[in-house]
Amino acid sequence: MWYAADTAERLRNAASYGFPDAVNSAAPVKFDWDSFKPKRDAYIKRLNGIYDSNLMKEGVEYHVGYARIKDPNTVEVTAQDGTKYDLKTEYIGITTGGRPIIPSDEEVPGASLGVDSDGFFALTSQPKRVAVIGAGYIAVELTGIFNALGSEAHIFTRGETVLRTFDSDIQKTLTAWMEHTGVKVHKSSNIAKLEGEKGGPITVHTKQGETVEVDAVVWAIGRRSNTDDIGLENVPDIKVNKHGDIIVDEWQATPYKSVFALGDVAGKALLTPVAIAAGRRLSNRIFGPEKFKNDKLDYSNIPTVVFAHPTIGTVGLTEAEARAKYGDAVKIYKSSFKALYFSMLEENHKEPSMFKLIVQGPEERVVGIHILGLGSDEIMQGFGVAVKMGARKQDLDDTVAIHPTSAEELVTLR
């Protein structure tokens, strides 16, 4: 969906690059959601089939059913036909993931009129007007997609900016650009109720007295781990926090030496590649050769990307976190510019780029990189390696720039 939205933006820019007939200004780009959705769904189904096939090829014993823990070495499976059987095992890995949260109708009257992020992918037609409730990366990504594809997009946030856990310069720059591109950002908003009907007009009421009528509402206010009814009462030493996350140590271990938990259900760095990396290291340690006996995932300096418009890449500490940890030993290098791609566009349509480097100590060790702008998603992977290896500002300075690119800004900051 992000690529579809990005394509719409490129089409709108085509005339500035000498393709005046690419988009008829009298008839704005129209996205055919109805025909695109089945194509997208078919692709996802194909991917699911590939994963299933790979399990079979690797000789994985594949059970389809609902699993509950009976004891630290037994899992009870309820098959699709209702029959039950036990699996005895040396180890149990809890990898049940998480699910999006929607308030109950008791908490927010009419909340069930909205859908969650899974419901976004179930939409068969594009809503003309949509409200996204939340300020995290999922809320930002969905709002950006709707807006770029031509929907009237509203986002309701409790604070003054989106992405409140990200670096402050990322928050401010993206929030301002979203507003500039036509997103209606409803700041300091708390939802009082929703009124209307699913599939029809829905009125969003805030506790601040604002009302907005839309055709669809998407809740993107967080996730909860899938730890309900999986038999945790049979392993009572395993504890969960208020979000339902299983509490584990640095080895992904629970108090039972045979039971581990990893991925979103462990509540740390909720990203698919993190779950894969943690799982690989756990399997290496349990089943691999001696050289892997101390293998575990280091959760520091994990690079991540937000597929906003424009994209965001981040790794390491925010400026606030760095100053809290290192105090006056922190130094900031920052550059704000427009990527070369936008040189042919009118000033009003030039996306911002903001690159920020956070260093600490006399060696100027890089402890954080935060970038926003065209290509940030691809740029961040390589610079994530540099931060993981303990790069200093001087190491970046010693690297010859690749010109003309946005990435060169990070090795030419002064």
User: What is the widest separation between alpha-carbon atoms in the chain?
Assistant: 68
**Residue located via tokens 């939409």:** 123
Helices (H), 14-166: 33-57, 117-122, 137-148
Of 205, 349, 370, 403, which is the active-site residue? 403
Report the C-alpha gap between 319 and 311 in whole angstroms. 19
Burial (Cβ within 10 Å: 0-12, 13-18, ≥19) of residue 287: exposed
Asked if 270 and 223 touch (Cβ cutoff 8 Å), the reply is: yes
Residue 403 appears among annotated catalytic residues: yes
Per DSSP, 198 falls in state: T
Report the C-alpha gap between 46 and 339 in whole angstroms. 36
Burial (Cβ within 10 Å: 0-12, 13-18, ≥19) of residue 272: exposed
Instruction: Name the token pair of 365.
Output: 């060790």
Q: What are phi and psi of 28, to 5 degrees?
A: -55, 160
Please give the positions annotated as active site: 403
